[in-house]
Structure 1
Amino acid sequence: MKDFKIVICGGGSTYTAGIVKDLLDQSHELKIRELWLYDIDEERQNKVAVVVQAVVAQFAPDLDVRVTTDPAEAFSGANFIMAQMRVGGLEMRVSDEVTCLKHGVVGQETCGAGGMAYGMRTIYPMCQLVDYCEEYAAPDYWIVNYSNPAAIVAKAMHKLRPNARILDICDMPVEIEARMAEILGCELDDIEVDYFGLNHFGWFTSVRCKGEDVTDKLKAHVRTYGYISEASLNDSLVKDPDWQHTFENSATISTLFQDYLPNTYYQYYLMPDSCVEYMDINNTRGMQVINGREKRMFAASEALQRGEDVDLTQFYVGVHGRFIVDVVKSLALDLRHRHLVIVPNNGIIENLSDDATVEVPAYITDRGPEPVRVGTIPRFYKGLIENQDACEGLIVEAVIEGSYQKALQAFTLNRTIPSATVAKALLDDLIEQNKGYWPELK
């Protein structure tokens, strides 16, 4: 069996330990020769690496985990690079959230102005990662990218590094599929969906469970409960207030627009007033992550270094890690598993432009994705998608050209921002907040 060198780029992420656990769970099929963590933040990565090494010691004690900030070390001969970079760290996420909320608009890391700000920080670091892989990695390397905001990053790479071996993915649709499975009382692997849109901007057109069409059954449920089972409504483990609000908004959107089932992120675009009213500028989602998951990760690292026992299962959450590992496994072993991925349109959705960056089902082979054709889509959904795709395209052009005008046009087009005057004031503030991260806009 062929073995592989796998690199996690963004090794200092609090998600890394969970991803590694999912890799080890699949090691009977996806044989790991070398596992490397790479990050530019050495101090943070070293803290997370303590937890990762504890996971590996428990489940694969013979596997040597390497930790580095040297790209030549990390990427030399690499077969698969899992990219989860967060340019500016959680501190800049919080800055984006707070700045947006001060202007009365959605403060969110991937949607609206926060997502555009994050995207503008991430484009050239992602180019650098591609260049490292071109220089050092194995000739048939694959970057499996789930760095946010995935839509903007993917569109930029299609333009700036069109020959890169990079596959862009997002775990949010899979998280929704997992909720669908819970609602239906089946396993995630039993679910197969048809879907179209952009990343964080798409619709489930049909859902099958073990081959049976359950779309109408799910629609009826989601209009009442959102993407959560009746049983789970009383489960304290899922009573995260932010997710409760998100699920409630999914019910509203499903009731208003009954053709398809929405991605949960549509709440920010179709109900921005409700989202802003709910959001707390003194307790943003980024602040919650810093005071929650990050704090727990660093505390665990310190405890392990003191020789204390730590419950590592607290870091094995959601389908985030499982999804990325499944995609890598399908690429590595030519399994042709069906996943939702982000690709250039090129006729997949017939009445959208070829250069739109769409999220659709595809069969994942060792040569890359083979997308499933969608055909034409109705005018309402086409209009939504064209507007958002234009917004994201203008952000990419603003970064490449250093164009203030195009950045302003992008902010003005975005559905989460109510007017051109608000767009300008917000953009000007974000320029100040992102000095050193964004190119100069003129």
Structure 2
Amino acid sequence: MRLTILGGGGFRVPLVYHALLGDRGPGRITEVTLYDTDSTRLSSIAAVLRQQAVEFVDPPAVTATTSLDDAIRGADFIFSAIRVGGLEGRTVDERVALDLGVLGQETVGAGGIAYGLRTIPVATAIAQRIAALAPEAWTINFTNPAGMVTEAMIPYLGDRVIGICDSPSGLGRRAALALGVDPATAFYDYAGLNHLGWLRGLRSGGVDRLPELLTSTEELTSFEEGRLFGVDWLRSLGSIPNEYLHYYYFARETLAAVQAVEQTRGTFLLEQQSAFYAETAQHPDQALELWQKTRAERESTYMVESREIADAGERDERDMAAGGYEQVALSLMRAIAHNERASLILNVRNRGILHHLDDDAVVEIPCTVDANGALPLAVSQLTDHQAGLVTAVKAVERSTIEAATASSRSAALRAFAWHPLIDSVTAAGQLLDSYTAHLPDLAYLRA
């Protein structure tokens, strides 16, 4: 089988290839095609992959191309992991928002809206090419904002596009291990949108173990979310939020922490990865070593401001070693390709599962996956608080999609104004003006 990775020069691609190297089962991926618009980045990542494969027998063959049509044609699975505007665009997303006193995280709030506005036109164009050249292929969307982009691609690809994220599975795994439960055997009652969901139950042996976890201070503070949100707040909620909800629940503190540092997350990653690609181009024989060193630094500084606010300490090495979205993607591919039933938390159409949202709204919920794709499973309904936040952000997502697909400035303004982390229509207009002035990809929204 052949896998195509769109955004194949991206820094995290070696994580996917490493997961493929460990898959020795029948019907495994035997060909990997990397597609990227940047040939220099492609060469660097291809060098990392070659060195990863040295100790393996019959590793998946790797080819690289800057032709989108060549990459898509003949693919069985397509991973979409593009970053329109690159990390340079992310730095603008963050800085514009911060200069206006608004949080600018890359998928949450103003930064996420700006990211979606420049990404959706490209993602929908790609979806149309996939529909034309590889209509039977399954597209697995990693591209952020994942839920929003997946929903924008569905009109062209239907249920053959599925969005993934490793945050829900990581949360479930950490909670299960805190309870001494095998994560592979537990059912996670998790629901919401991408980067906006809650773990409301953890069933093992037919028993919901979450209440037990919430009552045990020792167990609750043994993993990241317990330390990040605090025992009292989690008990008050009666659930465990996705880590990205820290931006909502502690918005004032997070904004102050981000404003206090000289360098935003995007700027840090831009400098770090620019150095990696430059050094790899000079020393391709050291590509894997350079990548591993850079990745370790990247992972250890993830969401560092939020962890500092909560005094949560450093990231758990066990969690970092467990694998991320690449493992979710590999499990999803195996289930579809081999018709092996698997339970995964995915971004799919709601289909009546969450009563506060319509059937076509893309939500993040547990699914059963087999050769027919992903079927959402029944979960408990959202509380009033959860539903209020989810429906508000879904309205933002849909206004962003409308703005991007119809070149509608008024829809873009609504998206900024309606977001819970943006507290003024005036500020929303200033954000839109500044983003369109600084981001060439948003020229279609200029007044």
Q: TM-score, normalised by structure 1?
A: 0.87
Task: Tell me, yes or no, if the aligned pair for 1:94 and 1:286 is still in contact at 8 Å.
Answer: yes
Residues 398 and 441 of structure 1 are in contact (CA less than 8 Å); yes or no, is this contact kept in structure 2? Answer: no
Structure 2 gap segments, 5+ residues each: 297-320
1:169 equivalent in alignment to 2:164: yes
Structure 2: distance between partners of 1:187 and 1:430: 46
Aligned equivalent of 2:137: 141
Structure 1 unaligned spans of 5+ = 230-243
* Residues 11-22 of structure 1 aligned to structure 2 (within 5 Å): 11-22=8-19
Alignment partner of 1:286 out of 266, 277, 294: 266
Question: Residue 247 of structure 1: CA displacement?
Answer: 6.2
In the alignment, structure 1 residue 413 sits paired with structure 2 residue 418? yes
Distance in 1 between residues matched to 2:268 and 2:218, nearest whole Å: 28
Read off the aligned partner of 1:250 and give its amino acid letter.
F
In the TM superposition, what is the alpha-carbon distance from 1:202 to its structure 2 partner?
Answer: 0.9
**Cα distance, 1:309–1:439 mapped onto 2, change above 3 Å:** closer
Identity, % of aligned pairs?
30
1:342–1:360 CA contact under 8 A, matched in 2 = yes
Distance in 1, matches of 2:342 and 2:419, equals: 34
Letter in 1 for 2:113: M
When structure 1 is superposed on structure 2, of 27-36 and 95-104 the one drifting more is: 27-36
**Whole-Å separation in 2 of the counterparts to 1:374 and 1:355:** 17
The one of 104, 119, 130 equivalent to 1:122 is: 119
Instruction: Find the partner of 2:393 among 377, 388, 391.
Output: 388
The change in CA–CA distance for 1:94 and 1:332 in structure 2 (over 3 A counts) is: same
User: Cα offset for 1:408?
Assistant: 1.3
Instruction: Give CA deviations for 1:169-190 in whole Å, capped at 9, x if unaligned.
Output: 1111122223224433555424
Deviations 1:312-334 (A, max 9, x none): 75559532211111111111111
Asked if the contact 1:143/1:165 (under 8 Å) is kept, the reply is yes
After superposition, give the CA deviation of every residue in 1:108-162 in whole Å (9 maximum; x if it has no partner).
Answer: 110001001001111121112222222322x42100111100121122223x425
Query: Partners of 1:70 and 1:345 in 2: how far apart?
Result: 34
Contact residue 192 and residue 209 of structure 1 kept, 8 A: yes
Q: What pairs with 1:108-119 in structure 2 (closer than 5 Å)? A: 108-119=105-116
Determine the C-alpha separation between the residues in 1 that align with 2:42 and 2:343.
33
| Gap change, CA 1:354 and 1:14, over 3 Å in 2 | same
Shifted more, 359-368 versus 378-387: the winner is 378-387
Retained in 1: the 8 A contact 2:78–2:139? Answer: yes
Q: Does 1:368 align with 2:368?
A: no
Partner of 1:267: 246
Instruction: Measure, in 2, the Cα distance between the counterparts of 1:60 and 1:7.
Output: 21
1:39 aligned onto 2:33: no
1:73-112 alignment runs, 5 A limit: 73-112=70-109
Q: Which residue of 1 aligns with 2:315?
A: none
**1:121/1:438 contact within 8 Å kept:** no
Aligned to 2:445: 440
Pick closer, same or farther for the CA change 1:58–1:129 going to 2, 3 Å. Answer: farther
* Structure 1 counterpart SS, 2:289: coil
Pick the aligned partner of 1:195 from 190, 208, 214.
Answer: 190
1:264 is matched by which residue type in structure 2? E
Question: Residues 430, 28 of structure 1: CA spacing in aligned structure 2 closer, same or farther, 3 A cutoff?
Answer: same
SS in 2 for 1:431: helix
Aligned counterpart, 1:154: 150
Deviation of 1:282 (Å): 2.4
Following superposition, the deviation at residue 308 of structure 1 comes to 8.5
- The change in CA–CA distance for 1:367 and 1:405 in structure 2 (over 3 A counts) is same
Matches within 5 A, 1:315-354: 318-354=323-359
The answer as to whether partners of 2:118 and 2:404 remain within 8 angstroms in 1 is no
- The 2-side partners of 1:141 and 1:120 are apart by 26
CA pair 172-262 structure 1, distance change in 2 beyond 3 A: same
Deviations along 1:35-56, one digit per CA (max 9) or x if unpaired, are 1111111111211111111112
Hey, what's the Cα distance between the residues in 2 that align with 1:134 and 1:86? 21
The DSSP-based 3-state class of the residue aligned with 1:135 is helix
Answer yes or no: is the 8 Å Cα contact 1:394–1:410 preserved in 2. Answer: yes
Q: CA deviation at 1:276?
A: 0.3
SS of structure 2 residue aligned to 1:6: strand
SS at match of 2:5: strand
- SS of 1:66 mapped into structure 2: strand
| Equivalent position to 2:49, from 52, 65, 78 | 52
- Whether the 8 Å CA contact 2:189–2:380 is kept in 1: the answer is no
The CA deviation string for residues 201-237 of structure 1, in whole angstroms up to 9 with x for no partner, is 111111135665321233245x7787753xxxxxxxx
Distance 2:161 2:221 in 1: 31
Instruction: Give the TM-score of the pair, scaled to structure 2.
Output: 0.86
- Please give the alpha-carbon distance, in whole angstroms, between the structure 2 residues aligned to 1:420 and 1:41: 38
Q: Helix, strand or coil: the match of 1:28?
A: coil
CA distance in 1 between counterparts of 2:113 and 2:395 reads 12
